[in-house]
């Protein structure tokens, strides 16, 4: 079998490394764009593919993402509707995300930003402490990663709530919500909002003025989904009005974040460069091999996303 690596933003061959290529048992790996015929390409590994990339591969059956998200692949106009798109499921990635989110939740609870500002002024002042039990966290998305984040926050003592599209059985200590009424109910009790949704037509722009207005005043946003979930001007207005006390942003509509973007120097925004957590090359390799095996056996690859749903 032949597999093509397709990306306009990343040198996938370098990113995946020689081990991945060696382990790709009985699969010849080539890079896009190919010279010559490409009718024997049945599998691709892609991240931000160029718009016309898949036009060249008429017999393509599956495209593997190198991450949990697949929005950048689904957005490619040349991707045929019958091609399977496969995400990575990596428990180590979920654990890493959980630590990242917990760091920001506790930073808000324990007022670390204020202490850092006080240190710069050599100002010694205790600010008083709030119990974890008094800081309610609402998580948008109760999937592979959202579930791990909610579970760990509950263990740390935070009232954890999570919102999904369909009803879910919530583990002990977590309150589950779903659908539009569920979102209203959750936001009304949320002080810290964590975005862990996939980017779909339904979720684009969900972090907006109306959403922030429904949260508890002085709340905090942890934005680790996709940049297009956020209406940037609405965030700046919510910070200005005091509706939100601060925000941690890891993902942006345009990455890297442009020089002189107002987020860079905002005193109540923490910017990280889309680095909350990444999947390991081992996990990408395992997904890739399982996909190739399924294609050979004529089965649907595991972790194929639902093309109609968009995740
Ligand atoms: P999953 O697909 O496992 O879970 C998605 C969750 O979102 C599900 O609970 C799903 O509901 C819910 N959801 C989807 N659409 C809606 C909707 N319209 N209304 C309500 N709930 C909805 O995804 P993961 O947990 O693995 O990852 C989530 C996202 O996190 C990724 O798509 C990516 O965008 C982002 N991410 C960011 C990273 C970073 O470094 N910043 C790293 C990894 C991921 P249901 O359960 O009912 O289907
Ligand atoms: C992912 C990411 O989707 O890192 O895995 O954003």
Mean pLDDT across 194-209: 98
Separation of alpha carbons 209 and 279, rounded Å: 32
Integer Cα distance of 243 and 235 in angstroms: 10
CA 69 to centroid of ligand 2, rounded, Å: 5
Could you tell me if residue 37 is inside a domain?
yes
Please list every protein residue whose CB sits less than 6 Å from any atom of ligand 1.
Answer: 67-69, 141-146, 163-166, 168, 196-200, 202-203, 224-226, 250-251, 274, 276-277, 311
The reply to whether ligand 2 has any atom less than 6 angstroms from the CB of 67 is: yes
256 and 156 within one domain: yes
- 98 and 226 inside one domain: yes
Is residue 198 domain-shared with residue 293, that is, in the same domain? no
Please count the structural domains in the chain: 2
The SS3 assignment for 159 reads coil
220 three-state secondary structure = strand
**CA–CA dist 1, 43 (Å, integer):** 8
What letter would DSSP give residue 188? T
Q: Report the sign of the C-alpha dihedral through residues 132, 135, 137, 138, in that order.
A: positive
Closest CA to 136 of 115, 146, 150: 150
Q: How far is the CA of 85 from the centre of ligand 1 (A)?
A: 15
Encode pLDDT of 96-134 as tens digits. Answer: 999 999 999 999 999 999 999 999 999 999 999 999 999
Assign 175 to helix, strand or coil: strand
- pLDDT at residue 44 in the model: 98
In a domain, 116, yes or no: yes
Task: Judge whether 147 lies within some domain.
Answer: yes
Kindly report the CATH number assigned to the domain that includes residue 58.
Answer: 3.40.50.720
Q: Is the CB of 152 under 6 A from ligand 2?
A: no
Q: Does any domain span residue 136?
A: yes
Query: Range of 16's domain?
Result: 2-90+279-297
Kindly report the average pLDDT of the chain as a whole number. 97
Whether 29 and 77 share a structural domain: yes
Q: What is the pLDDT of residue 93?
A: 98
- Lowest average pLDDT, out of 35-39, 170-174, 304-308, goes to 35-39
């Amino acid at each position: 079998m032949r597999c093509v690596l397709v990306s306009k933003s990343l040198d996938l061959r370098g990113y995946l490394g020689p081990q991945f290529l060696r382990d790709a048992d009985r699969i010849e790996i080539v890079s896009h764009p190919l010279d010559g015929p490409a009718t024997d390409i049945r599998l691709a590994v892609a991240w931000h593919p160029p718009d016309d990339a898949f036009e060249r591969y008429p017999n393509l059956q599956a495209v593997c993402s190198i991450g949990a998200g697949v929005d950048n692949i689904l957005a490619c106009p040349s991707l045929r509707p019958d091609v399977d798109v496969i995400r990575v499921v990596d428990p180590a990635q979920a654990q890493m995300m959980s630590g990242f989110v917990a760091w920001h939740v506790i930073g808000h609870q324990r007022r670390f930003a204020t202490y850092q500002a006080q240190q710069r002024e050599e100002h010694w002042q205790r600010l008083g402490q709030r119990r974890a039990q008094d800081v309610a966290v609402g998580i948008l998305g109760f999937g592979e990663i959202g579930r791990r984040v909610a579970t760990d926050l509950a263990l740390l003592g935070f009232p954890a709530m999570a919102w999904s599209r369909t009803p879910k059985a919530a583990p002990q200590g977590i309150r589950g919500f779903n659908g539009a009424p569920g979102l209203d109910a959750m936001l009304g009790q949320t002080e810290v909002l964590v975005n862990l949704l996939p980017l779909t037509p339904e979720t684009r722009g969900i972090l907006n003025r109306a959403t922030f207005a429904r949260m508890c005043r002085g709340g905090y946003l942890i934005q680790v989904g996709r940049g297009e979930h956020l209406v940037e001007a609405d965030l700046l207005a919510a910070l200005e009005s005091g509706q939100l006390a601060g925000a941690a942003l890891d993902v942006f509509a345009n990455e890297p974040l442009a020089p002189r973007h107002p987020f860079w120097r905002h005193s109540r925004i923490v910017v990280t460069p889309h680095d909350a957590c990444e999947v390991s090359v081992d996990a990408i390799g395992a997904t890739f091999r399982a996909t190739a095996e399924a294609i050979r056996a004529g089965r649907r690859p595991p972790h194929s996303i639902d093309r109609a749903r968009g995740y």
